[in-house]
Amino acid sequence: MRGRVWRLVVFVFIVGFTLNLVGIVSHVAVSSLARRWFATPLPGAFTTEWYAYAWHEFQLPQVLTVTATVAASVTALALLLGFPAAYVLARRGFRAKNAVLLLYFLPLLIPQMTYGIPLATSLYRYRIGGTVAGVILANLVPMLPLAIFVLLPFVEQISESLEWAARVHGAGRWQVFRRVVLPLAPGLLTAGLLVLVNTVANFELTFLLSGAGSQTLVVALYYAVFAAGMRPIYSVDAMAVIYMGIVLLILVAALRFVRPTQMVFRLGGK
């Protein structure tokens, strides 16, 4: 009896959540195509002119360029720095290993505003805040630990006997890392896609560090809604649809190559 009640509760929750999500997304999508929409179930006429309006009014070419630059740079740097760090944490045991892992985990655990404000203050003091470089550095704070924790179990699954065999045949450390460990780490794609998705969707740190020419799409969308001045709500909805479409494409690509069961975070040592 309890099992049936529990399944019914879960089913009702899933159906309610799905209907709520579909309702919100469909309302925004229809509104972005409406010429005018007042007190009727559906708009009386449809148009795509709001997408052209949003494209020019909100300077979307520049915003999308900045978004792509930030996302690609953060992903590349997180993988470049995170893979060696994950390799060392997976292969080496030392006394403070658990403390180091917990330290890496903190930016993922605590709200970004708690360390984002002092971080922004420091970067603005050195004139890095308000620039694309400042946005990249700020996003690296949580994304680098994310990459490390995603890569760590993948590195641990690589047998050390393969490395020993390569060293027996005369390979140096760099050759072992480049020719044995790196090709056997499918977690690079997993970590890269997850960092990419989270960077595109990251609002708090990007909002604190971005300037007029360094806003990503999610920050530009916020300013389009709340900045001073009169803007047609339909154009804001069009911009929101563009953002949702980009994030959806990235998520579809991520789910194509990444299984949720692959995301295993470990805090304990070996």
| pLDDT reported for residue 186 | 65
Of 92, 88, 270, 83, whose CA–CA distance to 186 is shortest?
83
Cα 196 from Cα 200, distance rounded (Å): 6
Is the pLDDT at 59 greater than 80? The verdict is: yes
- % of residues, the chain, pLDDT over 70: 83
User: What domains does the chain contain, in order, with CATH numbers?
Assistant: 1-47 (no CATH), 48-262 (1.10.3720.10)
- % of residues, the chain, pLDDT over 90: 33
| pLDDT reported for residue 141 | 94
Tell me: the pLDDT tens digits for 102-116?
888 888 889 999 999
Of 184, 167, 7, whose CA–CA distance to 90 is shortest?
184
Least confident of 28-42, 51-65, 218-232: 218-232
Q: How far is CA 16 from CA 5, 13, 28, 106, 203, in A?
A: 16, 5, 19, 33, 27
Q: How far is CA 64 from CA 26, 32, 107, 199, 245, in A?
A: 23, 19, 26, 13, 13
User: Which tokens hold the place of 228?
Assistant: 């001073």
| pLDDT reported for residue 162 | 66
| pLDDT reported for residue 158 | 67
Is the pLDDT at 270 greater than 70? The verdict is: no
User: Which tokens hold the place of 92?
Assistant: 């080496």
Tell me: the pLDDT tens digits for 121-150?
999 999 999 999 999 999 999 999 999 988
Whole-number average pLDDT of the chain: 83
Q: Cα-flanking dihedrals φ and ψ of residue 56, to 5°?
A: -90, -40
Q: How far is CA 107 from CA 61, 72, 214, 227, in A?
A: 31, 20, 23, 29
Contact between 144 and 78 (Cβ < 8 Å): yes
User: Which tokens hold the place of 191?
Assistant: 């970590």
Least confident of 84-88, 92-96, 169-173: 169-173
Contact between 131 and 120 (Cβ < 8 Å): no
Structure confidence at residue 37 as a pLDDT band (50, 70, 90):
confident
The pTM of this model reads 0.81
